Amino acid sequence: MPEVARRVFPSDRMPLAERYAELLATDGVVRGLIGPREAPRLWDRHLVNCALLADLLPPGSTVCDIGSGAGLPGLVLAIARADLRVTLVEPLLRRTTFLEEAVEALGLDHVEVVRGRADALHGRRRFAVVTSRAVAPLDRLLGWSMPLVEPSGALVAMKGSSIREEIEGARPVLEQMGCAEPEVLVLGEGVVPSTTVAVRVAWADPGRVSWPLTAPEPKSKSKRRRRP
């Protein structure tokens, strides 16, 4: 465990973070959820940068992590923040099985695992924050995420260095769905060696958001990604 982890995880949550890292490095690798080469750098590349996202979430938030995979960032957020109520949404059985076992092993009674696609929850559930990591380009991510965002909530997604180009490509979808101007946030400056980029998208006029929300299925020139 690198010293930098102690800067982003509360001291009383460190044992949970260490146990989760152990699960990823063992069962996660065996089940193909984490590549063998990733095991030695789990803290720097995965746990620490996901934990930085916790600072963007309001106290006591309901959080939906779509395309959760091995629990990044959703399970990390639940470990870092005991006040959150987290729903992990993942369509693949082998991943949800791992998530359910991890939640039980860590005793995280404020975490729910849902097997299914994000759009299966449209019209049924709403959350204060919808998170994701490396799921899809922003134009498609908006269509999957925003119908789950309550009027006063926001999409908060981990992104890469091309996020500003993604925002420009998503302009038609942002306008069609009634979203506010996206905020690009650089997390961890002065705290960790490698910063994390996130984008936050809220509603332009929360008072005019109503359901069922029409989620467009944009055409994207970006590389096709799996549906979360």
Which pLDDT belongs to residue 15? Answer: 96
Binding residues for S-adenosyl-L-methionine: 67, 72, 133
Residue numbers of the chain with a pLDDT score lower than 50:
218, 220-224
Residue pair 132/199 in contact (Cβ under 8 Å)? The answer is no
Give the chain's count of helices (H) and strands (E): 10, 7
Q: Which residue has the tokens 């089940």?
A: 31
Residue pair 155/200 in contact (Cβ under 8 Å)? The answer is yes
How far apart CA 135 and CA 147 sit, in angstroms, is 16
Give CATH superfamily name and number for 5-204: Vaccinia Virus protein VP39 (3.40.50.150)
Binding residues: 67, 72, 133
Residue pair 79/9 in contact (Cβ under 8 Å)? The answer is yes
Which pLDDT belongs to residue 96? Answer: 97
The pTM for the full model equals 0.91
How far apart CA 87 and CA 69 sit, in angstroms, is 12
